Amino acid sequence: MIKSLPRHLASRRNKPYRRGMRLRTLLAAFAALLAAAPAAADVLVDNVNGYTIDNGGRLTRFSAMLVGDDGKVQQLYRPGDRKAERPKFRFDGRGRTVIPGLIDAHGHVMELGYGALQLDLSNTKSLAEAQAKIAAYARASPTPRWIVGRGWNQEIWGLGHFPTAADIDAVVADRPVWLERVDGHAGWANSLALREAKIDARTPSPSGGRVEMAAGKATGILVDAAKGLVEKVVPPPLPLVRDMAFEKAQQILLGYGVTATADMGTSPEDWLVMRRSGDAGRLRIRIMSYGLGVESALAVAGTGPTTWLYGDRLRMVGVKLYADGALGSRGAWLKQPYKDAPSQRGLPFHSDAEIRNLMSRAAMDNFQVAVHAIGDAANAQILGAIEELSDTYKGDRRWRIEHAQIVDPADLPRFARHGTIASMQPTHETSDWKMAQARMGMERLGGGYAWRTMLANGVPLAFGSDYPVESPNPFPGLAAAISREDAQGQPPGGWEPEQKLTLEQALVAFTRTAAYAGFAEDRLGSLEPGHYADFLFLDRDIFAGATPQQIRETKVLETWMGGERVWPVTPVAARPEGDRTR
C-alpha cells in the first residue's frame, strides 16, 4: 500500500488529468512487476533424509525443501536436483531424518494440560501405589481444597472390581477427592466428595450414567453421565490455571512431534483459552476443534464452522457427540450382555430419535459430526443414523465415528457407504485386548479394532491417541499399528494379526487422512508445494528396517511449524545462503 507520493509527483499541480493518468500507469506497472517477481524464500532446509506421503498414499523421498516466507513448502528436491539459486537462508539438516508433522485425529487438549498439573495416577500398578500417591499429593499440595486428578485403571491394578470411597478415605478423609478413570468415563470420589455432592443410597442413576451401589450405599464410583453429579460441585479452574494447562499441553504435544490435533469436545471456556493464546501470539500447534455438543458449537461459532484463525492455527469445524461409554467401565453399549457381567449391556446415551435429532441439528448448519461409539450396538446405531441423514444432508459431509472399537463384522461394510471416517487409536488395541477378551469373549471380537478391514473396504482411516487416555506420543501408535503388540511384545505376533498395517499405511493415517478427517487436507498432512512446512527431525530412520520396538522408542529432535522451529525453543542455526558453516 502506497501511503504517500514521491515528492516529484506530489509537487506537480498543473494538468491534473495527465498527472492522474501517469500515476495510474505507474501503479499498474508496479503491480505487474510484483506479480511477475518470484516470491522470496525464507529458508532452504538442506541435506536431509526426507520422507513424505504423496497423493496416492505412497512414500516418497527428498533431500532438501524450499520454504517460502508464507511458511509453506515451495519445492522439494531429490538428491542431485538443482537447488534454488538465491534462498534467503540455508539450514543444514546434517543428514538427519525428516518426516511430516504428525496429526492426532482424536485428543483432548485441555485435559492433557490439566493432567500435567493435577494428581496423575496413570502409571500406578496397584491400588496401594495409587493410595500412596494420593496421600503424597495431599501433603505436598495443601491448596486448593479439592484434590482432583485422573488416570486410575482397576484393570491394571488387578482388582477385579472398582475401587471404593473407603479406599480414598483411608489416606485422605478431610478433603474432597475426585479422580477420573483413565478413559474419562468413570469417576472415583471419597466420602466427603459424595456428601458435598449430596449423593447417597437414594440417588438415582441419571440417563446415560450409573451410580454404583453396594450394600445399600453409593460406592464412590460414578459412570459416564453420573459423573456430572460430582463435577457440578467441583470448583472450576481459574483462568490462570486454564492458560497454564493449555501451554503445558502445547509443550507436550510439540515435544512428541504432534503439530496438529483434533480437539474432541471443546467447551466455550476451552475456546476462550485457545483464543487468548492466539491473541498473545503463543498458539503454536494447529487445532481442529469439535464443540462439546451442539450448544457449545453454536455458542462459539454461531451458524457454521469458523474460518481458520491465527495463521491457520485454530478452527472450529464440527460437533462432538456421544453414543455410549467405554469398555473399561462397562459403559460401552453392546448388542449382547457383557460376558463378565451378564446383567449389563452398557449405557446408550441417546435413543435413535434423539441421536438423529442432534446430528441433524449440527448438520443443518454444516458442522461436521463426530460421534463417540465404542460398543457394537453404539456403532450400529450411528451407522444407521448416517444412512438415514445422508438422504437429507448431501455434499461432502465426512461423517466421523470416533473409536469404532467393537463393530459387528456384519456392520463393517456400512462404514464405506457414505464415506464415514473411522477415527481410531492404535494404542487402544494394545492397552485393551486382554480386557476386551474378558468383556466380550473372542467369539464376539471379529470386528474389533479392524484397521486393515476398514482400509480394504475403502474407509478413510484416521489415527490418533485419545490423549490423555493414552500417551499423545504417536510413535507407540505407529508401532502398535504395524505389530498389534504392546510395549512388552505381547501377545507375540500380535493380537488378531490379520489387522496389521504397513508402516506407510499407518503414517498416512497419522498424516494425510488425519488432515482429511478435519477438512484440512488442502494445507496439512504432507510436505508438498502449497502445504505448510510442518515437519520433524527424528533420531533415527524409521523406514530403514526399524523394528516395532525401535519405532516405539523414536525420539523427536526438533519440531518445525510453518518453516520455523518451535520445539525445542533454543535458537536455530539457519544461515544466510553462501555461509556454509554450521
Residues 120 and 158 in one domain: yes
Domain boundary among 231, 249, 273: 231
Mean pLDDT rounded to a whole number for the chain: 91
Residues 205 and 122 in one domain: yes
Residues 56 and 126 in one domain: no
Average pLDDT rounded to a whole number, residues 430-455: 96
Per the CB < 8 A criterion, the answer to whether 189 and 230 are in contact is yes
pLDDT recorded at residue 579: 41
Residues 140 and 179 in one domain: yes
User: For 201-212, what is each residue's pLDDT tens digit?
Assistant: 999 999 889 999
| Residue 256 belongs to some domain of the structure | no
User: For 92-149, what is each residue's pLDDT tens digit?
Assistant: 999 999 999 999 999 999 999 999 999 999 889 999 999 999 999 999 999 999 999 9
- Evaluate if residue 582 carries a pLDDT over 90: no
Domain boundary among 214, 231, 248: 231
**Where do we find the cell 480394504?**
456
pLDDT recorded at residue 28: 45
- Evaluate if residue 340 carries a pLDDT over 90: yes
| Residue 172 belongs to some domain of the structure | yes
Contacts of 231 (CB under 8 A, 6+ apart): 178, 187
Cα radius of gyration rounded to whole Å, the chain: 27
Residues 95 and 117 in one domain: no
Residues 90 and 117 in one domain: no
Amino acid found at 516 = Y
Count the domains in the chain.
Answer: 2
Residues 141 and 225 in one domain: yes
Per the CB < 8 A criterion, the answer to whether 104 and 92 are in contact is no
Distances (CA, A) of 191 to 128, 132, 169, 210, 346: 18, 18, 7, 17, 26
User: For 214-259, what is each residue's pLDDT tens digit?
Assistant: 998 999 999 999 999 999 999 999 999 999 999 999 999 999 999 9
Hey, what's the cell of 463?
489415527
pLDDT recorded at residue 84: 73
Give the DSSP H or E segment for 558: strand 556-561
pLDDT recorded at residue 569: 79
Residues 75 and 119 in one domain: no
Give the DSSP H or E segment for 120: strand 119-120
Three-class secondary structure of residue 162 per DSSP = coil
User: For 38-61, what is each residue's pLDDT tens digit?
Assistant: 344 579 999 999 999 999 999 999
| Residue 289 belongs to some domain of the structure | no
- Evaluate if residue 480 carries a pLDDT over 70: yes
Q: Cis peptide before 468, with omega less than 30 degrees from 0?
A: yes
Q: Given phi > 0 = left and psi -120 to 50 = alpha, else beta, which region is 493?
A: left
- Evaluate if residue 512 carries a pLDDT over 80: yes
Three-class secondary structure of residue 9 per DSSP = helix
pLDDT recorded at residue 571: 57
Sheet (strand 564-567) strand order: 59-62, 49-53, 97-100, 535-538, 556-561, 564-567
- Evaluate if residue 27 carries a pLDDT over 60: no
Distances (CA, A) of 259 to 8, 287, 524, 536, 568: 51, 9, 10, 9, 13
* Bridge partners (DSSP) listed for residue 576: 89
Q: Which of 153-162, 260-269, 361-370 has the lowest mean pLDDT?
A: 153-162
Average pLDDT rounded to a whole number, residues 363-388: 98
pLDDT recorded at residue 22: 41
pLDDT recorded at residue 5: 28
pLDDT recorded at residue 15: 38
Among 138, 186, 201, 191, smallest CA distance to 168 is for 191
| Residue 195 belongs to some domain of the structure | yes
| Residue 537 belongs to some domain of the structure | yes
**pLDDT category of residue 576 using cuts at 50, 70 and 90:** low
| Residue 196 belongs to some domain of the structure | yes
% of the chain surpassing 90 pLDDT: 85
% of the chain surpassing 70 pLDDT: 91
Residues 81 and 115 in one domain: no
Note down the domain range covering 88.
42-101+526-582
**Where do we find the cell 486410575?**
152
pLDDT recorded at residue 575: 56
User: For 60-81, what is each residue's pLDDT tens digit?
Assistant: 999 999 999 999 999 999 988 8
| Residue 573 belongs to some domain of the structure | yes
Three-class secondary structure of residue 519 per DSSP = coil
| Residue 269 belongs to some domain of the structure | no
Hey, what's the cell of 256?
512428541
Please give the model's pTM, rounded to 2 decimal places.
0.86
Q: What is the CATH number of the domain that holds 119?
A: 3.10.310.70
Q: What is the CATH number of the domain that holds 72?
A: 2.30.40.10
Q: Given phi > 0 = left and psi -120 to 50 = alpha, else beta, which region is 368?
A: beta
CA 143 to chain centre: 31
Angle between helices 426-440 and 474-483 (to 10 degrees): 60
Report how far residue 445's alpha carbon sits from residue 366's, in angstroms, rounded to the nearest whole number. Answer: 35
Residues 84 and 125 in one domain: no
Residues 124 and 96 in one domain: no
User: For 310-337, what is each residue's pLDDT tens digit?
Assistant: 999 999 999 999 999 999 889 999 999 9
Per the CB < 8 A criterion, the answer to whether 436 and 450 are in contact is no
Contacts of 203 (CB under 8 A, 6+ apart): 211, 218, 229
Residues 180 and 201 in one domain: yes
Give the DSSP H or E segment for 68: strand 64-68
Q: What is the 3-state secondary structure (H, E, C) of 293-343?
A: CHHHHHHHHCCCCCCCECCCCEEEEEEEEECCCCCCCCCCCCCCCECCECC
Among 119, 155, 123, smallest CA distance to 137 is for 119
User: For 268-305, what is each residue's pLDDT tens digit?
Assistant: 999 999 999 999 999 999 999 999 999 999 999 999 99
Report how far residue 475's alpha carbon sits from residue 233's, in angstroms, rounded to the nearest whole number. Answer: 38
Domain boundary among 231, 252, 270: 231
- Degrees, nearest 5: CA angle 250-256-258: 65
According to DSSP, the β-strands at 314-322 and 64-68 are unpaired
Top mean-pLDDT range of 32-46, 448-462, 560-574: 448-462
Per the CB < 8 A criterion, the answer to whether 227 and 187 are in contact is yes
Average pLDDT rounded to a whole number, residues 504-519: 98
- Evaluate if residue 21 carries a pLDDT over 70: no
